[in-house]
Amino acid sequence: MTTALARGAATMMTTLALATAAPARADSPEPLYNLVDAAAQRLQTADPVAANKWLTGGPITDPARVKVVLDAVSKDAESRGVATDYATSAFTNQINATEGIEYARFAGWKFDPAGAPNSAPDLSASRTVIDGLNREIVEQFSVQWPLLNSPGCGAALAAAKGVVAGERQFDDLYRTALDVATRSYCPAG
């Protein structure tokens, strides 16, 4: 019996490669598209990371890694003129969303052990992709800083999320994760 979870596990090995691929889109008129797409790509690393942690018995939460990531994005943000508290808040949401996907995968594999992965990429490969996407996200914060702090941010963010989620064929789990990952992007409301 094939379940959605089993199909997801079968394609998990290609997720890491897809996360690094350029988005399959025509030029988007949405100004926050590149930012939201980088956040979406980062979310897509959750599947191979979860598979690795499942197979190695590693914990989903990794406070030491979170500290390294938040310290790095804070320094990068500061060097680009982006408020460090903004960057750390946004990345805390991104990490929480990614961990949420990992927990969902673990739950699914507990319910359907036949759908659990039997191989996974090395965690260091996923982290290299994640680190590159982190730099891209901070760069986009810098490029889009005026819009992110304007009254028009909410509408621009909603439009970009709709386009990205559609193009990446996100299911409900990934759409929810994208909402969580981007929820602090528009501090003005």
Three-class SS state of 149? coil
The C-alpha atoms of residue 189 and residue 169 are separated, in whole angstroms, by 27
Which fold, 30-182? Chorismate Mutase Domain, subunit A (1.20.59)
Tell me, what's the pLDDT at 85?
98
Query: Can you give the residue ranges of every domain in the chain?
Result: 30-182
Taking a C-beta distance cutoff of 8 angstroms, is the pair 24, 134 a contact? no
Whole-number average pLDDT of the chain? 89
Per-residue pLDDT band for 61 (boundaries 50, 70, 90) equals very high
Per-residue pLDDT band for 4 (boundaries 50, 70, 90) equals very low
Tell me, what's the pLDDT at 188?
80
Q: What are all long-range contacts of 146-151, with beta carbons under 8 Å and residues at least 24 apart?
A: 147/31, 147/32, 148/32, 148/185, 148/186, 148/187, 149/187, 149/188, 150/188, 151/188, 151/189
Per-residue pLDDT band for 137 (boundaries 50, 70, 90) equals very high
With a pLDDT cut of 70, the percent of the chain lying above it is 85
Express each pLDDT in 5-60 by its tens digit.
Answer: 434 443 443 444 444 444 444 467 899 999 999 999 999 999 999 999 999 999 99
Express each pLDDT in 84-111 by its tens digit.
Answer: 999 999 999 999 999 999 999 999 999 9
Who contacts 93 (Cβ-Cβ below 8 Å, separation ≥6)?
180, 181, 182, 183, 184
